[in-house]
Amino acid sequence: MFNPSWILGHAKISFTHAPDTVELTTKAGTQVPLSDLCEKITPPCHLNPMLFSGHLQTFWTAVDNQDVPIIYKRKLFESDCQTCPGTFAVDFVVRLPSPKDHTLPERTTYYTEDEFGIIGSLDSKPMLVLLHGLSGGSHELYLRHVLAPLITKEGGWEACVVNSRGCAMSKITTPFLYNARATWDVRQMIKWLRKTFPNRPLFGIGFSLGANILTNYVAEEGSSCELKAAVVCSNPWNLEVSSLALQRSWIGLEVYSKIMGGNMRKLFERHSDQILKIPNIDVDKIKKIKYLHEFDRYIQGPTWGYPTEGAYYRDAASVDSLLAVRIPFFSINAEDDPIAVNEAIPYEEFKQNPYTVLCTTSLGGHLSWFELGGQRWFAKAIVAFLMKFATDIDIESSSSGNIDSNGVVVPPRKEPIFDPMHRRLHVPS
């Protein structure tokens, strides 16, 4: 449907949240509701009027060839999860380039043992932990648009990207790729960061599927979460709803689902020697995979013990998890996103949790929001949110725990209540 606001590229911005959101204490000693903070830092959304639909905005991500140079050094971590052993790759932002390594993405090299041995620090710089989207990695342009202004001398941030297993030219050492609720690697990484940089306030951001994973992680940690705040962008939220929406239109099935399915099949082919160690993988069916839901049916399901892709999507979805979030949490979605569709966004759940604020725009596509000149609006909104926390909010003095509709801390309820984190997939500690 034609949206008249595209004539000028001016998107409507809407906010959804509880009537009374958690109160944050500023360094000046005043109180500000999380909802007010989010609304004040969010810039007007003026997008490129030539990209006049969510499809065009999303397609443009494939042809955008800007160079936002971010330099990384990679470290491989051995998983401490007994159920999901193996290694995962973390790329740390650094300032000085190293000789090119053709086995890694551009501007990425490995830490030497000596370099990594002295990485610990007592400094109090804010540090960002990033999770990328489906089959992506630290090299993704949408991710670098957010990093670039934060890691300048003026921004003063440190950052690292937790690459999903098998992504960003990393190798898997066990038959497990990542999945949409694989929170164990980011949990281990954040624990390691807290120990290695004890004075740094930690923040998290997730993009698309990484947003779903980050939401589940924050919810699983509850009030014990080590992150001071989190941002998610283009979260698909209800994975089953989003999958079905893709399948019911030609462009959804033959363009988006086909491209994403192809990317995941390439990922499988790159790591097939490991994945085929799983006895119930049907190679003949894998050869015929065209769409994303087929990949999840024939590879993710057998790998993780799900009988159908629907069971996987329902278990991995972050809709219910949102209710268990207990840190300041800012979400950005576009209502015309053809992948993380509007009908999958948990509007009512946002109204129930005072720790959460949802920002939706009438225009923008998936991880896109291109402005005239090629900049991305979402990056400006995210950076403004993070910088506000780093510079103006007294994080340790802000509210935590369970709060009622008036913002008053109350003890946990003891009568039967809905438990959003009673997950079906059992991962032994």
Catalytic residue among 337, 368, 398, 399: 337
Q: For the chain, how long is the longest CA-to-CA vector?
A: 64
CA pair distance 79, 324, nearest whole angstrom: 26
Please say if 337 is a catalytic residue. yes
Check if 46 is active-site: no
Q: Which of 164, 170, 366, 368 is catalytic?
A: 366
Tell me which of 208, 234, 362, 399 is the catalytic residue: 208
Whether 72 and 108 have beta carbons less than 8 Å apart is answered as yes
Compute and round to an integer the Cα radius of gyration of the chain.
21
Q: Which helix (H) or strand (E) holds 333?
A: strand 329-334
Amino acid at 402: N
Is residue 358 within 8 Å of 329, Cβ to Cβ? no
- Mark whether 366 is an active-site residue: yes
Contact 152, 86 (CB under 8 A): no
Q: Give the residue numbers annotated as catalytic, written as ranges.
A: 208, 337, 366
